[in-house]
């Protein structure tokens, strides 16, 4: 098929994805309901086959905007090309001002958190509220949680957690709360700190930027790299000092140890650091998609592989050694707590909680392939029945901030429909999920209470341990 898209243009990148996926065709039957991108891709392809009409530039931009990077599809190179096309569209045609506002969750949190009563009134289902939402690019039907009186950063500062704990304070961890927990659900971040402290860990909560996923998804490379670069400086310094970096949000950990680290082991700086022979490329064997080294090295002939195995991805402009240092020390909180249980230092002595809960593992948690650690932890609580929502092809549809956007709201509800129907069939007393975007979507579409599993662990902790966790058990270094 011949097209006239200029070489290297966003249209050409997007069109090449259509060709690759049409040639393969694997995702046509599998992702017909779980993804908005593939049905549209195959519609455009089928139309071209039947009528000879190639997709227009607008259709190609609208196509790539349907991908929420849920990672349900099997080919990382295709997802990378979709992001490349989105980024190239934004670089050439710009980003609408309203999207620029919505993608900056930290700024929304700061502004709205500073005037919680006024914000609450304006974001209520009144005419003024709907008008304000529309003005800032949020769909009028999108429900927002109440903005808390105190965001997590202020809470952590009051307890001195923004300063490094003393070196002698035992095992030290840096907690990366992420924007949504910091500004919209500080109870999740507080519970995380309290559970970690109850396990004898000294917690450090420095001010950090957004992990960058919302702007990455919107194609805003400048914003994403600025945030990533700031985070990398703080996180890599902490990693070098021996801190483990813990995320309660699976999207943040996916970004820090997956996307940001992609290709970093192939960089010359790393090859020099591991003393590679100039004829070979040496990279650690991978344990999982998160990029963590599994022990042992794989060796590739440089002449054969140098054009494939290279550090030329989205984050390649950032120091590869720092990206590796951060990736190798980043963990999901649930995963980390379960490891501590194995070492005899995890949370325990839980009080009974009598209820039936349904656990939903979100997309970016599943993509990291570390199992369902929260289920293992929750099942240690007497009386709590925690069932797993089985199946890997479910998506809540909110897609970070995409579901907030005026133009994407209805698609977001449609995309989440399959998962909502499944949950309604199960009819749980409570839904547990570690993704706060999923939580917002569930709260909008379902009648069940939704919580992060860490909040349940915190609730079941024996009170003396929990009670001593408001920072009292940990003295900052000053
Ligand atoms: S994403 Fe990969 S498996 Fe799916 S259709 Fe495209 S090339 Fe095939
Ligand atoms: S990452 Fe998710 S939304 Fe994007 S193409 Fe793959 S399955 Fe579809």
Q: What is the pLDDT of residues 49-62, one digit of tens each?
A: 999 999 999 999 99
Query: What is the DSSP track for 110-177?
Result: HHHHHSHHHHHHHTSSSHHHHHHHHHTTB-TT---PPPPSS-HHHHHHHTTTTSPBPTTSSSEEEEE-
User: For 198-212, what is the mean pLDDT?
Assistant: 96
**Which CATH number is associated with domain 348-463?**
3.40.50
From residue 414, alpha-carbon distances to 409, 418, 420 in Å are 9, 8, 10
Separation of first and last alpha carbons in the chain: 66
pLDDT tops 80 at residue 124? no
**Tokens 């908005």, located at residue:** 36
The closest residue, in CA terms, to atom 4 on ligand 1 is 27
- Reading phi first (left if > 0) and then psi (alpha if -120 to 50, else beta), residue 200 is in left
Ligand 1 mean position, distance from CA 139 (Å)? 32
The closest residue, in CA terms, to atom 3 on ligand 2 is 67
The closest residue, in CA terms, to atom 6 on ligand 2 is 73
The pLDDT score that the predictor gives to residue 411 is 87
The pLDDT score that the predictor gives to residue 286 is 66
pLDDT tops 60 at residue 385? yes
Ligand 2 mean position, distance from CA 33 (Å)? 11
Task: State the ligand closest to the CA atom of 21.
Answer: 1
pLDDT tops 70 at residue 392? yes
Q: Please tell me what DSSP assigns to residue 56.
A: P
CATH 3.40.50-classified regions of the chain: 348-463
Ligand 2 mean position, distance from CA 35 (Å)? 6
**Tokens 């295709």, located at residue:** 78
Let me know if 210 is exposed, middle or buried by CB neighbors in 10 A (0-12, 13-18, 19+).
Answer: buried
Alpha carbons 425 and 282: distance in angstroms, whole number: 50
pLDDT tops 70 at residue 466? no
User: For 365-389, what is the mean pLDDT?
Assistant: 94
Contact 158, 470 (CB under 8 A): no
The pLDDT score that the predictor gives to residue 468 is 39
Let me know if 447 is exposed, middle or buried by CB neighbors in 10 A (0-12, 13-18, 19+).
Answer: exposed
| 301-337 per-position pLDDT tens digit | 888 887 788 899 999 999 999 999 999 999 999 999 9
> pTM for the complete prediction?
0.89
Alpha carbons 161 and 247: distance in angstroms, whole number: 16
Picking from 301, 377, 298, 279, the residue whose alpha carbon sits closest to that of residue 335 is 377
Q: Is the CB of 73 under 6 A from ligand 2?
A: yes
Between 223 and 100, the higher pLDDT residue: 223
Supply 8's token pair. 């290297």
């Amino acid at each position: 098929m011949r097209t006239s898209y200029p070489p290297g243009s966003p249209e050409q990148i997007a069109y090449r994805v259509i060709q690759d996926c049409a040639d393969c065709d694997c995702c046509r039957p599998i992702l017909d309901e779980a993804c908005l991108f593939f049905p549209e891709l195959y519609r455009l392809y089928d139309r071209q086959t039947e009528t000879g009409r190639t997709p227009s530039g607008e259709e190609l931009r609208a196509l790539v905007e349907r991908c929420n990077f849920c990672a349900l599809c099997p080919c990382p190179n295709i997802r990378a090309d979709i992001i490349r096309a989105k980024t190239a569209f934004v670089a050439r045609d710009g980003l609408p001002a309203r999207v620029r506002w919505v993608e900056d969750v930290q700024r929304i949190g700061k502004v709205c958190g500073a005037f919680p009563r006024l914000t609450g009134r304006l974001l209520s289902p009144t005419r003024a509220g709907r008008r304000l939402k529309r003005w800032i690019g949020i769909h009028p039907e999108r429900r927002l949680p109440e903005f808390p009186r105190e965001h997590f950063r202020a809470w952590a500062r009051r307890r001195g957690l923004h300063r490094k704990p003393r070196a002698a304070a035992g095992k030290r961890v840096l907690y990366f709360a992420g924007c949504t927990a910091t500004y919209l659900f500080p109870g999740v971040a507080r519970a995380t700190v309290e559970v970690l402290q109850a396990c004898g860990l000294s917690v450090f909560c420095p001010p950090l930027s957004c992990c960058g996923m919302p702007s990455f998804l919107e194609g805003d490379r400048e914003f994403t790299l600025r945030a990533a670069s700031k985070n990398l400086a703080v996180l890599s310094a902490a990693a070098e000092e021996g801190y483990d970096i813990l995320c309660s949000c699976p999207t943040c950990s996916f970004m820090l140890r997956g996307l940001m680290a992609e290709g970093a082991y192939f960089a010359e700086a790393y090859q020099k650091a591991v003393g590679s022979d100039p004829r070979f490329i040496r990279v650690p064997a991978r344990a999982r998609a998160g990029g963590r080294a599994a022990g042992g090295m794989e060796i590739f002939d440089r002449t054969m592989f140098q054009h494939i195995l290279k550090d030329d991805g989205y984050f390649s402009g950032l120091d590869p050694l720092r990206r590796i240092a951060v990736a190798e020390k980043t963990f999901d909180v649930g995963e980390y707590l379960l490891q501590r249980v194995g070492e005899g230092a995890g949370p325990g002595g839980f009080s009974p909680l009598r209820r039936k809960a349904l656990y939903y593992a979100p997309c970016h948690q599943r993509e990291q392939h570390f199992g369902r650690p929260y289920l293992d932890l929750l099942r240690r609580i007497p009386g709590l029945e925690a069932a797993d929502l089985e199946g890997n092809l479910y998506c809540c549809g909110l897609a970070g901030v995409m579901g907030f956007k005026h133009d994407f709201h209805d698609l977001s509800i449609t995309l989440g429909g399959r998962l909502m129907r499944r949950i309604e069939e199960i009819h749980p007393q409570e839904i547990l999920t570690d993704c706060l975007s999923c939580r917002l979507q569930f709260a909008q579409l379902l009648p069940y209470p939704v919580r992060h599993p860490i909040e349940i662990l915190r609730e079941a902790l024996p009170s003396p341990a929990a009670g001593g966790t408001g920072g009292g058990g940990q003295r900052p270094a000053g």
